[in-house]
């Protein structure tokens, strides 16, 4: 009987000493966004993650990071902080260097070290240029704009056929845009250009019966994404529609410009993951506040580092 009494006493001591311990498992990680292109200024946008119970409204600035860039295993640059390059609504910080033109086919590595955060690492490359597509306007139809608009709006039906290299999966993005020049009349015969902007056109209206690829609509209205993963030897065929407003009383417009881009797979998966969560159109960077659902190729971090190459096509109608 004394033995059983001793067991109960010991058990009672164990349970009476039980305490709840709060573990803070959150570790700050860098948020990274960088894109390589052979003709563009190379910049890296960086911020940091925030605890789940305290999500940021504006991404915190990180002005004390060391960002090293390697080309085919050799250190080529340590990127300087760019204090005057900002996006007020976005926050974060920019690092970059001028006159740096990444090479097609070379492998680039990014190492990021910032006090108080885990060291981050990523790898990217620039794919070969996409082949020149066959591009045909099949029809142009004038449509009625809204009652409050004075635009002349046209609906273009367009076919694209693109050869690709069989056996190697490739990932593409197609963007359509036009420049818009606002003007003022000086007197009767002089025109003064007051501003020049760029308008992105929506490409989400696809004719599926005449397209042999699955199309993913990119966020921020930045065109469409697609891949040749299931096509084998067949060319990529895509039929879509573009609405284009030709002019108003104060605007001059250029033809439509198309940019056909070839991306590395990581960028395609990153964009697809943003699309898959059903987010509304907006700024990509806002989705970093919930990083667990976004694809990343940044070890110990969040975001994307990848490369792309492009061809530009001008369409007159």
**Mean pLDDT of successive 10-residue stretches along the chain, which has 317 residues:** 45 51 65 88 87 69 94 94 81 87 91 93 93 88 70 85 85 87 64 68 87 77 84 88 72 79 92 71 54 82 92 83
Q: Rounded to whole angstroms, what are the CA distances from 292 to 24, 61, 289, 295?
A: 17, 21, 9, 8
Q: Among candidates 196, 46, 204, 41, which has minimal Cα distance to 112?
A: 46
Name the token pair of 161: 């056929």
Determine the pLDDT at residue 10.
42
Determine the pLDDT at residue 213.
87
Determine the pLDDT at residue 4.
46
pTM of the model: 0.80
**Could you report the per-residue pLDDT of 241-259, keeping only the tens digit for each?**
988 876 655 566 678 889 9
Q: Are strands 74-79 and 66-71 parallel, antiparallel or unpaired?
A: antiparallel
Q: Are strands 171-186 and 256-263 parallel, antiparallel or unpaired?
A: antiparallel
Determine the pLDDT at residue 64.
93
Measured from the Cβ of residue 184, the count of other Cβ atoms closer than 10 Å reads: 11
By the 8 A CB rule, do 92 and 47 touch?
Answer: yes
**Strand, helix or coil at 126?**
coil
- The domain segmentation of the chain, as residue ranges, is 26-127+272-308, 134-263
The CATH T-level fold of domain 26-127+272-308 is: Immunoglobulin-like (2.60.40)
Looking at the chain, the whole-number percentage of residues with pLDDT higher than 70 is: 73
Determine the pLDDT at residue 194.
58
Hey, which residues does 142 pair with through a beta bridge?
Answer: 154
């Amino acid at each position: 009987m004394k033995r059983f009494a001793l067991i109960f006493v010991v058990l009672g001591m164990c349970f009476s000493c039980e305490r709840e311990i709060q573990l803070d498992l959150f570790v700050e990680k860098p948020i990274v966004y960088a894109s390589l292109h052979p003709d563009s200024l190379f910049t890296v946008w960086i911020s940091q993650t925030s605890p789940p119970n305290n999500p940021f409204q504006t991404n915190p600035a990180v002005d004390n990071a060391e960002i090293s860039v390697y080309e085919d295993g050799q250190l080529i640059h340590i990127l300087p902080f760019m204090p005057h390059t900002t996006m007020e609504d976005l926050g974060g910080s920019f690092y970059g260097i001028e006159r740096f033109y990444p090479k097609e086919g070379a492998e680039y590595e990014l190492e990021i070290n910032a006090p108080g955060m885990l060291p981050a690492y990523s790898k990217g490359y620039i794919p070969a240029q996409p082949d020149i597509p066959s591009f045909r306007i099949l029809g142009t139809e004038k449509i009625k704009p809204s009652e409050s608009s004075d635009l002349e709006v046209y609906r273009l039906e367009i076919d694209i056929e693109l050869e690709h290299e069989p056996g190697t999966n490739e990932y593409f993005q197609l963007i359509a845009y036009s420049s818009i020049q606002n003007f003022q009349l000086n007197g009767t015969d002089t025109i003064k250009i007051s501003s020049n902007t760029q308008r992105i056109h929506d490409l989400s209206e696809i004719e599926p019966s005449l397209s042999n690829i699955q199309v993913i609509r990119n966020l921020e209205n930045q065109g469409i994404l697609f891949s040749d993963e299931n096509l084998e030897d067949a060319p990529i065929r895509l039929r879509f529609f573009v609405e284009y407003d030709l002019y108003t009383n104060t605007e001059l417009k250029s033809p439509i410009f198309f940019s056909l881009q070839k991306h590395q797979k990581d960028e395609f998966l990153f964009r697809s993951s943003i699309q898959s969560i059903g987010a509304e159109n907006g700024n990509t960077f806002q989705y970093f506040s919930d990083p667990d659902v976004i694809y990343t190729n940044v070890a110990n971090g969040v975001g994307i580092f990848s490369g792309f190459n492009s061809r530009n096509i001008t369409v007159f109608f």
